[in-house]
Each structure stands twice: as structure tokens, then as C-alpha cells.
């Protein structure tokens, strides 16, 4: 057995060198090159065998830049001399020497004129473990413009899904010989084995405390196995896990039995007074509101207590603190210290945990909450800071500080739609712009010092009243992105769609978000990849969000298609046809039986020679309600979604209340009969708002343009 000088003993560092990385790869079932450190047993290398000598240095990620990679025949003396020269260069560059590594030289498979080197990176961050896979080697940057790397968040991606995507990627097509004039360098089963090993490698790396492993390059060898030719990584100290608030807080928001409010002025003014006015409109809270006001026994006809100490023996479901930041922080701290008094506490003020927090209140309160929970003691669930309020329309409950002179209360119809927004103004704008939306709960999340978006989503996953969720976020704090994806998966497993608009994905937007909510900027592409794979429907604009929300509020989630359009306006038919195909939507087609039914129906109304029996269906202004409804019955048999365009200027369109009610009820009945979504488009001005309202009253989504209806469908598809 040939043994060179003893290998150096290197203490563990955050940097994971190639020798250590290879050991992890082998444990996962990958095939690193045969290798050994200079100074260890090298008996498996034959004299004269082609090898690669590599100089390893701490934090040395690119060895070739220091001439620390040498191809040579294996001769012990020459290996030692070359390794010593590498050591001097590496140490001179400021890197601690980790040893010389001798590796077998793997013969990689080639195909004429095509790149074959790939890279695989595993990283653990806010999205959990994520795998990047794409072209490696020197031309990687240029090739990435042609074929961007694939991104696989492992918590929502299987190795089987990754295999299907890699087979369609340019790198996978080259490896599998699917390009003209090329030949296969590997097989589907070998690619599957490699990806399954990568999934196992993430678990191995997790167990060893790693946060990063880079395999670059990886290549098919002569037998078709994908082999890593280099690997390095990094480990970090584990970060403290966020302790989520107790999961049963949602009922304290939906139907609080008792509420306490601090911050009401003796004068009829201020935020606290407006919050109180809104609370008093809730019938269920009559006689169940307590004010916290030192020195008062009664105010505005309501009982008062001096401080939160009085709540310990007589607790409330919801405590609203409309107080300046220092006083609110002390009040919450006192409540935690006394071990009870309120299930949920809402911090209305800012200046806690944001750019205006000059007293470090946010950090101290967050640390206190986490510490008390960690030892198993009681804490409230905390909303905010910058909690603008929440709404439960069916109960008439409104905890906001927006007066009814500025914003009318939401209509009391209620429904299964839940709106969550990190920005309170976003939520208010949706209420103002679309007061007809049938939502059951709206919550302004504020700065999410404690209760955050994933906590609400997890709670809603257990809430059968929730049928759809719309959310606006401007960033994710530590740990919240992965938790959000996991909560979305639970909702989607129950069939609940989740619509999201992400503000602050540009540099300017991130700066603006940080200025008013302290939102965390993140890797936007990674966020989107993770959340889309979890099942989120992304709206890239507020207009798209509003359009999709209109569909969701109807209670029947649209499938991706096929979509049929019928209208009494030629321009709407043409424009709808232009915009219908593509972007995830499919235009409906008529099979022979449906075509025959449509022709017979048109003939029975003496319209066959005037209306072309095809889609989009242009019924012309000569069609009245009976024609519309008969056509809708036929088209719903052939389509997945029906758009009904009613340009109301045609004389036969009944826009009077009675006629509109008959049409609306009949369309709603057809929706129920076929179990498919139906939307109405009324392309007209504000004079026809009452006409639109008739259709909304029976739960049909209504749009003012066909483009808006299709925009919402694309988001949900």
C-alpha cells in the first residue's frame, strides 16, 4: 500500500471542501470520482493512471483561478511536488490550506458541437431546500440566456416532476440525444436515478447542518451516469425556529364574544373614538364592549377599567390598543407578564418594529413573545403593528379606524371569500371599489410582528366557511415564505383557490414597501417558483387581481377552460376571439351534436341565416332573452366557462328591473344546472350600474369588458 506524507488535520469550518462534499454525495447515492487526500492511502491509483490533482483551500470556490487544478499521470513524487506548489499559491492568496486531493480523471461523454456540462446547486433558505439545475462550465452564463436554469423547491416538487421538466430543458434534450444530429449520452432511468439521489442529498445535507452544496460541473460519463466533477458547500449555525401563535385564534376575529378597547378619548375625536363607533354597529357586541381608561368608571355609556390587570379575571376575545407606541408596547408587555386577559391583541399604532421604532419596542416584544411561548406559558396572538382593522360583513363587525363618512360599511351578504392584505389601504380600496364582493372576512395584516400570513392561511385551511383566499403581500419575514407555501398546499388540498398579488418585487417597490411596512425584500423568482408550485395563482397587476377576485367571489372556481363567448356585439365577439387563446386559456369548440343543437335553436328563432352558428357566438342586436338563454344552455354543454356579453343599448335587451331579474335568475339557474361558471359582461357606463347589480345579486361575476373577464380567468388558470 502506497502512503504519502500524512494528510493535514483540518478543523471543521463553515466552508465544506471538496473532500467532505464528496463523502456526502456518496452517502446519497451519487458517484463522485475516486479520490483521496495526499497523505492518505492512494493504493487504488496505479502509477501512470490519468488523475486530476486539486489544491483545496478554505473559502476557495474556484480553484482554477489560482492554478490549483492540474491534469497529470499519477506518480507519487510528482503529485507531492505539485501539491506543495499549489499550497504556496493558495496560502499566498489568503486561503487556509485544506490539502491536496487526487481524483480519477473521468472520461465524459460528448456529442459533436453541443455543450454537455451541467451544474446542480442545492441551497437551504427561506424556501427550504431548493435545487437549481442548468448548464455548467465556462459558457454557462451565455447558455443561461438561452435556457435559464430549472428551479425546484423540494417541499413542493417531486423528483418525478423534476425529471419531466429536465427532459424538456435544452440540457436534458442534449443529454438524451433529442436534438437533430445528436446521440444519447444517458438514459431516462439514469437521469431519474440522479435526481432521486439529489433529493436524498438534500436530506443528508440537512442532517449535517449544510445550507449550500454546489456540484459544478456534472457530466455524463462513458456509461451514461451523471457524475459530479467538483463539489463545495457551506454550513451555518441553525437559526431559531419561529414559534407560531396558537392556531385557534380565527374564531376570536370572526365572532368575538367580548371586546376591550384602549385609546378612546373623552372627546368625540381620534382613532380610538372611530374604532368604537364602528364596533358599536355590530349587533352581537351590544353590552359586550369594555373600555380601558384610567380614572373612568364609564365613558360613552360603556363600562371602563383602569388597565389590563382587570382583564385577567374577566378575559376578552379581542383587545384593541389604539395607543401611542410606547404605551401600547408597555400594555402588551404587562398583559403577557400577567399570563392572561385577551386571546387576540391588535396593535393599531405604528412605531413598533418599523422604521419609526426608536425605542426598539418591536424587537423586545417579539423576543418576549417567543421566549414565553418557548417555555410553554400563555401568550396572546398579536395582530399588527399598523393593524388597520378587520371586517366580518355578515356580522356587521368592523374594527377599523375609518369612519363611515369616508368608507361605507361592507354589504352584509357575507360569503366564503377571505381577503388578507399586508397593506390596509389595499384592503380598503378593494372594499370601496367593489362593495358587492361577497367576502366573509377581511384582515389588514400590518407588520406581522406575530400573527402572519401563513398563520391565517393555516387557520383558514381548517375553516370550512372559507372557499377562496385573496392576499396582497409586500414581502416575507424570516421563515414565513416556506410556511406560506405549506399552508397554501393545505388549502389547495381542500380545493380552496389562493390568489396573490406580490407588491415590492422591483427595487423601487421594495424600497417603498420597507418604508411603510418594513417588508422584507427577497428573491422574487424563487418566491414565485415556490408559491406557484404550491398552488398560488399570481396576479401580476392589481387589475388582474381585481378581475380574478370577481370570479372567486361568485363561489364557483373557474377551470382553465375551454371558454365560450356569446354576445350581441360584433366588436366584442371579434375582440374576445383575439384574446381568448393562449396564456393558459383554451377556446371552446362545438362538436357535431352541439353544432346541430345550436343550428336547430337558431332556426327555431328564425336566426339561422342571420347568426353564424360558431364560436364566439355573435347573436346580433336582434336576439332577445329567450335566444340568449337557449344558446347558453347549448354552449354550457360544450364549454367549461361561459361569458355572456350584454351590450345593453340593443332594444331587445331587457334592462328594466323586472327583465334584468328574470335574465339574471335564469342564467344563475343554468350555472347550477351545468355546474359551470357563467360571467356577464356589460360594456357600458355608470348608467347601467343598477343593471349590473341585478346579476351580482344572484352571485354571477360581472365585468365591464371582455378583456377583464379573460384577464381574471388567465390568472386562475
Indicate which CATH number applies to the domain containing 166.
Answer: 3.30.470.20
* Percent of the chain topping pLDDT 90: 77
Interval 156-163 mean pLDDT:
97
Q: Alpha-carbon distance 519 to 473, whole Å?
A: 9
* Omega of the bond leading into 217 within 30 degrees of 0 (cis): yes
Q: Is 116 exposed, middle or buried (0-12, 13-18, 19+ CB in 10 A)?
A: buried
Using CA atoms, how far residue 115 sits from 111, 230, 317, in Å, is: 8, 17, 64
Q: What angle do CA 79, 81, 83 make, to 5 degrees?
A: 65
pLDDT at residue 515 in the model: 35
Structural domain containing residue 397: 388-553
Full DSSP string of 95-132: PPEEEEEEEE---B---TTS---EEEEEEEETTEEEEE
Nearest to 700 by CA among 590, 570, 596, 550: 550
Dihedral angle, C-alpha 334, 340, 344, 346, nearest 10 ° = -10
C-alpha cell at 384: 399588527
State the greatest distance between any 2 C-alpha atoms of the chain, in Å, as a whole number.
100
Residues 708 and 587 in one domain: yes
Dihedral angle, C-alpha 349, 351, 355, 360, nearest 10 ° = -140
Q: What is the pLDDT of residues 565-606, one digit of tens each?
A: 999 988 888 888 878 876 678 899 999 999 999 999 999 999
pLDDT at residue 592 in the model: 94
Q: Alpha-carbon distance 107 to 396, whole Å?
A: 73
* CB-based contacts of 339, cutoff 8 Å, min separation 6: 312, 377, 378
* Pair 546, 711: CB distance under 8 Å: no
Tell me, yes or no, whether 691 lies in a domain: yes
- pLDDT grade for 471, boundaries at 50, 70 and 90: very high
* Pair 539, 499: CB distance under 8 Å: yes
Q: Alpha-carbon distance 52 to 44, whole Å?
A: 14
Q: Is 675 exposed, middle or buried (0-12, 13-18, 19+ CB in 10 A)?
A: exposed
Residues 636 and 521 in one domain: no
Write down the mean pLDDT value for the chain.
Answer: 90
The DSSP 8-state label assigned to residue 82 in this structure reads H
Residues 614 and 648 in one domain: yes
Tell me, yes or no, whether 558 lies in a domain: no
pLDDT at residue 579 in the model: 82
Supply the CATH number for residue 347's domain: 3.40.50.720
Interval 91-98 mean pLDDT:
95
Is 145 a residue whose pLDDT tops 80? yes
Q: What is the pLDDT of residues 221-236, one digit of tens each?
A: 999 999 999 999 999 8
Q: What is the pLDDT of residues 441-456, one digit of tens each?
A: 999 999 999 999 999 9
Nearest to 264 by CA among 336, 348, 381: 348
- pLDDT grade for 416, boundaries at 50, 70 and 90: very high
Is 298 a residue whose pLDDT tops 70? yes
Is 481 a residue whose pLDDT tops 60? yes
Using CA atoms, how far residue 14 sits from 11, 233, 234, in Å, is: 10, 8, 5
Residues 662 and 700 in one domain: yes
The residue assigned the cell 360583513 is 393
- pLDDT grade for 518, boundaries at 50, 70 and 90: very low
Q: Alpha-carbon distance 153 to 135, whole Å?
A: 18
pLDDT at residue 358 in the model: 76
pLDDT at residue 186 in the model: 97
Q: Alpha-carbon distance 369 to 74, whole Å?
A: 61
Interval 261-287 mean pLDDT:
92
CA 9 remoteness from chain centre: 46
Between 144 and 483, the more confident residue is: 483
Q: Alpha-carbon distance 410 to 387, whole Å?
A: 18
The SS3 assignment for 654 reads coil
Sheet holding 439-444, edge to edge: 397-398, 390-392, 439-444, 417-421, 468-473, 498-502, 536-538
Is 613 a residue whose pLDDT tops 50? yes
Q: Alpha-carbon distance 28 to 21, whole Å?
A: 11
Q: Alpha-carbon distance 335 to 326, whole Å?
A: 14
- B/e letters for 540-560, b = 16+ CB within 10 Å, e = fewer, are eeeebbbbbbbbbbbebebbe
The residue assigned the cell 422584507 is 520
Asked which of 49, 72, 104 is the last residue of a domain, the reply is: 104
pLDDT at residue 622 in the model: 84
Q: What is the pLDDT of residues 52-65, one digit of tens each?
A: 999 999 999 999 99
pLDDT at residue 161 in the model: 97
Tell me, yes or no, whether 78 lies in a domain: yes
pLDDT at residue 235 in the model: 93
pLDDT at residue 582 in the model: 64
Secondary structure of 190-219 as H, E, C letters: HHHHHHHHHHHHHHHHHHCCEEEEEEEEEE
Is 322 a residue whose pLDDT tops 80? yes
Residues 276 and 360 in one domain: yes
pLDDT at residue 560 in the model: 65
pLDDT at residue 355 in the model: 73
Residues 378 and 292 in one domain: yes
pLDDT at residue 550 in the model: 95
- B/e letters for 186-224, b = 16+ CB within 10 Å, e = fewer, are beeebbbbbbbbbbebbebbeeeebbbbbbbbbbbbeee
Using CA atoms, how far residue 100 sits from 81, 216, 512, in Å, is: 11, 19, 50
Tell me, yes or no, whether 426 lies in a domain: yes
Asked which of 82, 104, 126 is the last residue of a domain, the reply is: 104
Tell me, yes or no, whether 6 lies in a domain: no
Cβ–Cβ contacts within 10 Å for residue 652, how many? 15
* Pair 678, 511: CB distance under 8 Å: no
Winning range, highest mean pLDDT, from 16-25, 353-362, 504-513: 16-25
Is 516 a residue whose pLDDT tops 60? no
Q: Alpha-carbon distance 505 to 513, whole Å?
A: 10
Using CA atoms, how far residue 404 sits from 4, 278, 326, 348, 584, in Å, is: 85, 8, 29, 18, 41
- pLDDT grade for 554, boundaries at 50, 70 and 90: confident
pTM value? 0.86
Asked which of 519, 553, 587 is the last residue of a domain, the reply is: 553
The residue assigned the cell 360581472 is 702
Q: Alpha-carbon distance 413 to 710, whole Å?
A: 26
* Pair 524, 481: CB distance under 8 Å: no
Q: Which stretches does DSSP call E strand in 366-407?
A: 381-383, 390-392, 397-398
Of the listed ranges 112-116, 200-204, 351-355, the one predicted with least confidence = 351-355
Residues 184 and 313 in one domain: no
The residue assigned the cell 364557483 is 556
What percentage of the chain's residues is helix, strand, coil (to nearest 5)?
Answer: 40, 20, 40
pLDDT at residue 519 in the model: 37
Q: Alpha-carbon distance 269 to 266, whole Å?
A: 8
pLDDT at residue 353 in the model: 75
Tell me, yes or no, whether 518 lies in a domain: yes
pLDDT at residue 504 in the model: 60
Q: Does the CA dihedral 614-620-624-628 come out positive or negative?
A: positive
Residues 226 and 335 in one domain: no
Is 507 a residue whose pLDDT tops 50? no
The SS3 assignment for 672 reads helix
pLDDT at residue 286 in the model: 96
Q: What is the pLDDT of residues 661-678, one digit of tens each?
A: 999 999 999 999 999 999
Tell me, yes or no, whether 673 lies in a domain: yes
**Helix H or strand E encompassing 51:** strand 50-57
Tell me, yes or no, whether 578 lies in a domain: yes
Residues 358 and 460 in one domain: no
Count the domains in the chain: 5
Which residues are bridge partners to 135 per DSSP?
A: 118
Which residues are bridge partners to 525 per DSSP?
A: none
The residue assigned the cell 493504493 is 43
Q: What is the pLDDT of residues 622-636, one digit of tens each?
A: 889 999 999 999 999
Q: What angle do CA 705, 710, 713 make, to 5 degrees?
A: 135
Interval 360-371 mean pLDDT:
91
Is 33 a residue whose pLDDT tops 70? yes
Residues 371 and 408 in one domain: no
Residues 382 and 395 in one domain: no
* Pair 436, 380: CB distance under 8 Å: no
pLDDT at residue 6 in the model: 42
Q: Alpha-carbon distance 344 to 261, whole Å?
A: 12
Supply the CATH number for residue 585's domain: 3.40.50.261
pLDDT at residue 497 in the model: 96
pLDDT at residue 514 in the model: 35
C-alpha cell at 410: 361592507
Q: Alpha-carbon distance 329 to 384, whole Å?
A: 12
- pLDDT grade for 43, boundaries at 50, 70 and 90: confident
Winning range, highest mean pLDDT, from 461-465, 509-513, 552-556: 461-465
Cβ–Cβ contacts within 10 Å for residue 239, how many? 9
The residue assigned the cell 435545487 is 131
Residues 403 and 532 in one domain: yes
The SS3 assignment for 702 reads strand
Amino acid at each position: 500500500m502506497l502512503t504519502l506524507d500524512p494528510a493535514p488535520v483540518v478543523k471543521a469550518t463553515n466552508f465544506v471542501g471538496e473532500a467532505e462534499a464528496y463523502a456526502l454525495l456518496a452517502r446519497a447515492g451519487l458517484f463522485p470520482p475516486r479520490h483521496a487526500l495526499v497523505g492518505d492511502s492512494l493504493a487504488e491509483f496505479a502509477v501512470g493512471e490519468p488523475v486530476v490533482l486539486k489544491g483545496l483551500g478554505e473559502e476557495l470556490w474556484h480553484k482554477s483561478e489560482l492554478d490549483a487544478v492540474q491534469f497529470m499521470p499519477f506518480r507519487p513524487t510528482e503529485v507531492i511536488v505539485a501539491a506543495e506548489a499549489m499550497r504556496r499559491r493558495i496560502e499566498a492568496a489568503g486561503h487556509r490550506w485544506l490539502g491536496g486531493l487526487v481524483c480519477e480523471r473521468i472520461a465524459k461523454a460528448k456529442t459533436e458541437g453541443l455543450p454537455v456540462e451541467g451544474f446542480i446547486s442545492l441551497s437551504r433558505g427561506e424556501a427550504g431546500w431548493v435545487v437549481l439545475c442548468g448548464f455548467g462550465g465556462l459558457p454557462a452564463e451565455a447558455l443561461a440566456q438561452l435556457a435559464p436554469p430549472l428551479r425546484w423547491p423540494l417541499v413542493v416538487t417531486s423528483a418525478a416532476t423534476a425529471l419531466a421538466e429536465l427532459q424538456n430543458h435544452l440540457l436534458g434534450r442534449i443529454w438524451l440525444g433529442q436534438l437533430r444530429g445528436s446521440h444519447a449520452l444517458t438514459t431516462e432511468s439514469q437521469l431519474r436515478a440522479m435526481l432521486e439521489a439529489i433529493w436524498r442529498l438534500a436530506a443528508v445535507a440537512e442532517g449535517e447542518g449544510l445550507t449550500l452544496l454546489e456540484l459544478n460541473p456534472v457530466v455524463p460519463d462513458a456509461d451514461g451516469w451523471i457524475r459530479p466533477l467538483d463539489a463545495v458547500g457551506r454550513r451555518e449555525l441553525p437559526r431559531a425556529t419561529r414559534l407560531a401563535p396558537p392556531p385557534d385564534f380565527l374564531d376570536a376575529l370572526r365572532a368575538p364574544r367580548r371586546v376591550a378597547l384602549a385609546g378612546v378619548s373623552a372627546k368625540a375625536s381620534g382613532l380610538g373614538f372611530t374604532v368604537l363607533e364602528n364596533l358599536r354597529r355590530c349587533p352581537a357586541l351590544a353590552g359586550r364592549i369594555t373600555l380601558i381608561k384610567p380614572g373612568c368608571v364609564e365613558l360613552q355609556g360603556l363600562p371602563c377599567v383602569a388597565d389590563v390587570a382587570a382583564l385577567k379575571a374577566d378575559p376578552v376575545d379581542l383587545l384593541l390598543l389604539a395607543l401611542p407606541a410606547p404605551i401600547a408596547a408597555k400594555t402588551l408587555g404587562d398583559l403577557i407578564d400577567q399570563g392572561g386577559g385577551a386571546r387576540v391583541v391588535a396593535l393599531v399604532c405604528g412605531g413598533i418594529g418599523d422604521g419609526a421604532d426608536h425605542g426598539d419596542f418591536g424587537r423586545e416584544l417579539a423576543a418576549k413573545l417567543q421566549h414565553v411561548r418557548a417555555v410553554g406559558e400563555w401568550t396572546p396572538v398579536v395582530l399588527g403593528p399598523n393593524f388597520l382593522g378587520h371586517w366580518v360583513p355578515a356580522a356587521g363587525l368592523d374594527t377599523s379606524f375609518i369612519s363611515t363618512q369616508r368608507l361605507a360599511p361592507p354589504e352584509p351578504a357575507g360569503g366564503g371569500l377571505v381577503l388578507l392584505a399586508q397593506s390596509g389601504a389595499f384592503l380598503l380600496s378593494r372594499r370601496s371599489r367593489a362593495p358587492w364582493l361577497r367576502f366573509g372576512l377581511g384582515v389588514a395584516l400590518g407588520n406581522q410582528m406575530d400573527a402572519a400570513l401563513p398563520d391565517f392561511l393555516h387557520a383558514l385551511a381548517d375553516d370550512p366557511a372559507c372557499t377562496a383566499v385573496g392576499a396582497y403581500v409586500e414581502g416575507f419575514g424570516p421563515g414565513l415564505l416556506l410556511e406560506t407555501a405549506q399552508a397554501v398546499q393545505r388549502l389547495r388540498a381542500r380545493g380552496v383557490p389562493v390568489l396573490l398579488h406580490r407588491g415590492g418585487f422591483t427595487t423601487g417597490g421594495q424600497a417603498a414597501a420597507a418604508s411603510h411596512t418594513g417588508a422584507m425584500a427577497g428573491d422574487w423568482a424563487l418566491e414565485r417558483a415556490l408559491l406557484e408550485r404550491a398552488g398560488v395563482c399570481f396576479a401580476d397587476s392589481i387589475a388582474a387581481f381585481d378581475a380574478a377576485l370577481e370570479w372567486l367571489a361568485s363561489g364557483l372556481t373557474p377551470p382553465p377552460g375551454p371558454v365560450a363567448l356569446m354576445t350581441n356585439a360584433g366588436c366584442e365577439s371579434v375582440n374576445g376571439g383575439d384574446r381568448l387563446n393562449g396564456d393558459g386559456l383554451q377556446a371552446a369548440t362545438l362538436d357535431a351534436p352541439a353544432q346541430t343543437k345550436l343550428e336547430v335553436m337558431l332556426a327555431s328563432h328564425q336566426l339561422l341565416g342571420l347568426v353564424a352558428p360558431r364560436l364566439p357566438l355573435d347573436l346580433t342586436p336582434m336576439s332577445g332573452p329567450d335566444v340568449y338563454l337557449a344558446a347558453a344552455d347549448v354552449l354550457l354543454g360544450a364549454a367549461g366557462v361561459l361569458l355572456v356579453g350584454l351590450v345593453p343599448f340593443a332594444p331587445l335587451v331587457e334592462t328594466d328591473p323586472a327583465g334584468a331579474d328574470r335574465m339574471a335568475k335564469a342564467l344563475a339557474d343554468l350555472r347550477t344546472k351545468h355546474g359551470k361558471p357563467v360571467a356577464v359582461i356589460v360594456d357600458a357606463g355608470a348608467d347601467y350600474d343598477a343593471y349590473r347589480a341585478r346579476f351580482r345579486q344572484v352571485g354571477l361575476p360581472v365585468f365591464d369588458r371582455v378583456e377583464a373577464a379573460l384577464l381574471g380567468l388567465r390568472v386562475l388558470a
